[in-house]
Amino acid sequence: MRPKQHPVTNDIIRHLYYHGELTIPMLSKLTNLTVPTVGKLVEELLQQHILIVKGKAASSGGRCAFSYALNAGMAYCVVVCVERFTMRIAMTNIRNEFVTPITSVNIGIATPNEMLKILQQNVRRVINESGVNRKLIMGIGVAIPGLINKNSGINYSYFGNANRSTTEIFAKMFPYPVLVQHDMDVMARAEHIMGVGRRVENMLYLYLGATGIGLGIITNGQLYLGHEGFVGEIGHIPIADNNKLCHCGKTGCLETEISETALAAKILESIQGGASTILSSYLQNGNYELTLQHILQALHGGDPFTINLFSQLSEHLSKAITIVLHLLNPELIVLGGELSGAQQYLLLPIQQHLNKYALPQLLKNCRITISTMGTNAPLLGSVPFIVEHFLAEREAEPKSGKQRA
């Protein structure tokens, strides 16, 4: 008997999720509903404990409005991210806040089936230990690297093979919806919803990881996934004239210059060629491996060799950034991933090189910054996906009983 109301309350919840805190007149503008209508709906949502009164907003010349927010205890998300050596799991509330510690599990060289087991066990443990009412869990978000088909859920790296859809596998494993997403897209979304990219319509998230490079794209205010979800494969753009063979089989890929192994190899070569750097000390006593951690440590320690190394690396990166800048004219480019830990040692040379390569009109109004979300991005970025899915389901629902609260 309420044909439109249910979708409309979802709209209110959605806006409150993205804005955090809103007044009735603000919601009226955002939803295109009149103030009395929004007033009634908010009243209803308050009674269902979906909303809470947050306080009074500052007056803008008249009676000051009450502001409302989502009740943090209204709904929860389980978030998982799969990384090189570990899988991290935690629970958040609907306000993007962690409500459990982040569990980190070693995954070693687990087979797809072992990975599934590890995931299942640990997700269950996190849910148990959280003490949260299971009915309030909206879903599970899983961020994984590699190519993931956005329609079938088929991916070519974890949890299965080219024939098994992860979506189907997980549907049998959990009583909650499980959303598997490319980690790049999850991080881009995190940055866009709760990081430096808030309210930005067109932005790029450039992930500079130890093992690879990727790009997450936000166009017209929404995540762009492309036809099948294979967006942002920037690591294999032929950009370097170095003749180095990439693991993809081609030469000159961006990734042959920018990765932990590429950096380590370059350093080793230089040291053998007589270069003087603090990094030599790590290579004593039969230890021939340099990790990114060592390199970043040397960098922030002020080692001139390493600083120069990052300046060189920035040159290649700048060429790639120039390409995406010229193609997509973003308002903001966010740099994330382990390599972005280089901070100013990366950002400043990039900006310098961009002045050389990029068209000034495009560069002028494009901000470039380093992510401040750290390792939380691939976890928190799943929350908006889960919230959207939850609200979409809620809309499709037969208008049966009252909603969870």
Binding status of residue 39 toward DNA by CB under 7 A: yes
Choice from 42, 81, 215, 246 touching a second copy (CB under 8 A)? 215
| Spatial distance between the Cα atoms of 60 and 51, rounded to a whole number of angstroms | 24
Binding at 323: pick from a second copy, DNA, none (beta carbon under 5-8 Å per type): a second copy
Q: Exposure string (b/e) for 46-82, b if CB count within 10 Å is 16 or more? A: eeeebbeebeebeeeeeeebebbbbbebbbbbbbbbb
Binding at 56: pick from DNA, a second copy, none (beta carbon under 5-8 Å per type): DNA
Element (H, E) at 292: helix 292-300
User: What is the separation of C-alpha 118 from the centre of its chain, rounded to a whole number of angstroms?
Assistant: 22
DSSP state of 375: G
* Interactions with DNA, residue window 42-101 (CB under 7 A): 43, 56, 59-66
3-state SS string for 312-334: HHHHHHHHHHHHHHHHHCCCEEE
* Interactions with a second copy, residue window 145-164 (CB under 8 A): 147, 156
Binding status of residue 248 toward a second copy by CB under 8 A: yes
Q: Starting at the earlier edge strand, list the strands of the sheet with 22-23.
A: 22-23, 66-70, 51-56
Cβ 72 to a second copy, closest distance in Å? 31
Choice from 18, 30, 35, 266 touching DNA (CB under 7 A)? 35
Nearer Cβ to DNA (61/131): 61
Q: Which amino acid is present at 124?
A: R
| Spatial distance between the Cα atoms of 352 and 347, rounded to a whole number of angstroms | 9
Q: Look-up: residue for tokens 């000390």?
A: 281
Choice from 5, 48, 165, 308 touching DNA (CB under 7 A)? 5
Nearer Cβ to a second copy (49/367): 367
Q: Are 132 and 99 in contact (CB under 8 A)?
A: yes
| Spatial distance between the Cα atoms of 84 and 211, rounded to a whole number of angstroms | 8
# residues contacting DNA (CB under 7 A): 27
Cβ 396 to DNA, closest distance in Å? 13
Choice from 113, 161, 222, 293 touching a second copy (CB under 8 A)? 222
Binding residues (CB under 8 A) for a second copy: these are 147, 156, 201-202, 215, 217, 219-220, 222, 224-234, 236-238, 241, 248, 250, 319, 322-324, 326-331, 357, 359, 361-362, 365-366
Binding residues (CB under 7 A) for DNA: these are 1-5, 8, 23-25, 32-37, 39, 41, 43, 56, 59-66
